[in-house]
Structure 1
């Protein structure tokens, strides 16, 4: 597993919120769902994304945008059109006065809008659950990522458009996987752009020494790595690996490994019911005591406190509103 594959494994869709928007101008939708990541593709017409405090971005057919939450933004036919509806946590939709719009704007299976034959069409996929593994990826993305249709080629958008309004058995799983593939394609295309500020760990993958070390750490996080053993597997001296890794990645190998192990552990704590002892050994610690000490040192809370803080968010997978989580618990 390379570093990008490991980080993309974090924001894997599990019951993502997906819909087709069909709109007739003038229209404007305010999005305040606090979702960690949303993907938008224009299939016809056009749409503007207006981030709070940022410059409006025009999307045309074939364009794709990634909006990194939880910051709110507006999607509209024109930046000057005032919002007429508000999307809240869990995909709830209301007027600005609080009146529900789910039924009045429903146009069919996963289709929503103000006109069945509206000239503007968008596909929207929203990842509702945060992932500690995915946070490194999310932090590497700009608040609003825009890929013009003439700068990349991806056959997955038509697939998503074809599947999004079907109501076949297992359709939610099909849509989740197509959304994930579209996200992977978009992130790879973005990082491959000459003007993209790709993160250090991404650029380092092309190095024959550091790239090998990164793949080893991601493939075998529970291995009792030392800089010496990692250097031996990479085929260089300990000093050479330490120097080159820090130079290209921006931190020493063991610091990177600690962050990766604790990110994996955070996902396991939040998404499963394994004991702290079992998770500790699964990510490379000798026991619960050493793991708990490292976890609290980095995140400010114990593993049990972290798990308890996220317990109230689990129903969000099924569409309910998220519960608040202390900011100290979420800090990297």
Structure 2
């Protein structure tokens, strides 16, 4: 199972925050919700996405953007507009002076804004925690990524708008699955760009031998792998596999396996109550001590501290820390 398939069968949207935002200029929404990842796509008009530490980018109809948290950003009609609305953790909204706006800016079913029929209409889906989206998926994307109308699927955008504007049984689950598919679509688009920042687990699938080796590691992370055993399973010599794997992935097979095991463990720590020892065994560590040492080296916190910290930040939907990209 490749990491994107792991995302669709493991961590994924659960009661994600989805909204149709309708705005007339002037507007500037200061988003401070500390969410792990947000997908934004305009269906009418345009908006600037202004991160705290990156260049602003204009988003037009048919395009899409992903914003990786938990840092703040603004969505505005001009790049230099001062905030008119602030979104706090828990998706509460207020004016910069503190006046609450949840009721005054509501316009029916999952529609919110400063106008009932605004010049700008945005569809927004938010993964509140990395436990819902998965560490490897968030690590695949930069802090802000903008995708052209040729890189996104209009059918998915249409499904999201229809679901946001039509009440029906199972709506929350339908929105979750549509958001998952939209995220999968843009991560694939990012992978197709194949730039220097594209994660190795995406680009390496161009080599059939390495692709098969990655599939084995992804599907059976707890197995006692060695390079020799992995080479035997993909029917090449140990030296051939080691050389091709390093060329395609940028690190040796066992180093990559460590990254993958710890990413899986990080997700398990924040979306389950399993003990550290249980999680260690699930991802292939012979003891909780060995696992804890490796995890602390990669994430800068012990498994217990990592779990406690993320739960305290979002107790109802705990996030994770972005997956390490190095062993």
Stretches of structure 1 that go unaligned for 5 or more consecutive residues are: none
Work out the CA distance in 1 between the residues paired with 2:288 and 2:298: 15
Deviation at 1:72, TM superposition (A): 1.8
After TM superposition, give the deviation of residue 81 of structure 1 in Å: 3.0
What does residue 146 of structure 2 align with?
A: 146
* Shift of residue 43, structure 1, vs aligned partner: 0.7
* Residue equivalent to 1:30: 30
Q: Does 1:289 align with 2:289?
A: yes
Distance change in 2, residues 1:250/1:45 (3 Å):
same
Match of 2:267 in 1: 267
TM-score by length of structure 2 reads: 0.90
Aligned twin of 2:162: 162
Match of 1:215 in 2: 215
Match of 1:173 in 2: 173
8 Å Cα contact 2:4-2:184 kept in structure 1: no
Aligned pair count reads 324
Q: CA deviation at 1:286?
A: 2.4
After superposition, the Cα gap between the structure-2 partners of 1:152 and 1:271, relative to the gap in structure 1 and judged at 3 Å, is: closer
Shift of 1:271: 1.6
CA distance in 2, matches of 1:330, 1:151: 25
Aligned twin of 2:79: 79
1:191 aligned residue: 191
Secondary structure, aligned partner of 2:61: coil
TM-score normalised over the length of structure 1 = 0.89
What is the RMSD computed on CA atoms of the aligned residues?
A: 2.5
CA 1:278/1:50 → structure 2, altered by over 3 Å: closer, same or farther? closer
1:182 aligns with 2:182: yes
Query: Unaligned 5+ residue runs, structure 2?
Result: none
SS in 1 for 2:315: helix
Structure-2 separation of matches of 1:82 and 1:100 = 18
The separation in 1 between residues aligned to 2:314 and 2:169, in whole angstroms, is 24
Distance 1:133 1:71, change over 3 A: closer
Change (3 A) 1:157 1:132: closer
Greater displacement, 121-130 / 302-311:
302-311
The aligned residue for residue 16 of structure 2 is 16
Displacement, 1:270? 1.8
* 1:73–1:310 Cα change, 3 Å: closer
